[in-house]
Chain A
Amino acid sequence: MPSSLTALQGQLSRRDKFRAYMQAFNPTAPARDVIEAGLVCEDLHQSLYRNLAARADLEPGSQQLLVGGVGSGKTTEMLLARRWLLAQAHVLPLYIDVSKATDLGGLNTGSLVASLGLSIAAHLAPGFKDYGPGGKLKAELGGPFDKLWSYAYGKFERVYVAEGDDFPDDFDLDDSEDEKGHYTFKRIPGKLRPPMPSLEREIQDIREPLAEFLSYLRKTQREIVVIFDGLDRLLDATKFWSVVHQDLRLLRQLKVSVLATAPLSVLFGAGVGQSISDHFDRVHHLSVIASGPENTSLQSVLEKRRASELLNLQEADSICYYSGGVLRDLISLSRDAAEEAYVSDRDSITADDVKKVVHQLGTGYLRGLGPRAIQTLLQLQNSKSFDVSLPANVELLLTRRVLECSSTDFRVHPALLSVIPQPEPKRA
């Protein structure tokens, strides 16, 4: 019988083993950290990031879209593209997660350009100190910087209000009255601070100061590639397009290469989707990854993270299958199965652990589905029939209940399918 000390050491070792595994399978870890830790299979999508980056490098002003469902690995591909571009030395790739910096839901025309301008300014002078009095960049870029800053964050303008005019809500207190009227300060809101303003100035207002920054950078022979991530959060294609189209036109004029993420509705939604696709030089679709005897890409993802420490081949195959080829679900299921094993005091993952976590994931997808949606899913499963032009079906794609293996091949998420109540057979 082990002594109490030996038992305690064994417990610590087991805990350490599980924690190490959990860290490798953390579905919420920032993609940048995962890449740096060497846990990413870079050829998972046939090295798509190289295609993205090479075209952006070779064709200044080109615009490419990366379309994919939630959890498909878009951010990872974008960051890999950024790393590749950085290695080329003559290109300056600027990665901007728009949704992190500002309220994407309230964005309007000009927001992307404002983000890019500030990103360039910050690259040249971290903390923006060099644009002020006595700063190194004051003489060359002080003026354009002031314009960029007020465009992004707003400014006050002194205006004259005639006597008897109503006070708009956004007027500040008067400080200079006379008999016929008075001067006051009106706040002109910026593009990057909620609540977002309605468009008050033409986007062309910002063209000149931004062009000055670009020209300054190009003196050092560095072309700009801007990577706009986070735009895929705008699930509705119309909203996505209303935010980006004016900004992208300006960036094309300025010969800035653009890589941007976009939601699946751009590919499958009726109406605006096609015109968006037509605008871009190239649209890349990051579909789910097939799993089966002929394709072991998903198993490679698990092996890269040393899943075999806790997961045998059979359970690994099971997790790959039930992930549906959605990368984040693959990572989540692998982590959750280990968690089940840990809290159940087992030393490795069993079939029961996998079954339980698949049930949990499937139930999460099932909640919120009405009888009609379930009928659609069962129909897809039985007859492979799925009308992607219907808005309700696009919703099923956006919420990952239905997965796109290609632009014409759809299937129900396997974890969801495993918990859908099957209809009772009709009695004769």
Chain B
Amino acid sequence: MEEKETAQNYEMMVILKGEIPEEEMGFFRQKLDDWMQEKRGTIHNVEVWGKRGLAYAIGSHTEGYYLLLYFELPPSQVKSLEKALRLEENLIRFKIFKKERRGVHAGE
């Protein structure tokens, strides 16, 4: 075991409030970037799905701004990421999916 925890790949879908201005979206992305940097995470790719109607109303929201992120993060930090996201007011919903382990020690 090395002293550094091996990062794991994750996929995360995020739904931001559909009615917020474009700049708020930027703020959110920036905040996430900063957070990742602090926790030794790396965002590999961001897919912007954009504004989309929700299949059902969540609270009063009928539209959401969808983002799909692929990132790498030490598994112990996932909990704190969830915690941080839950405090985000512009966020309607998010879901983090674990992807396969990367690197030589795959499957360990």
A, B bound: no
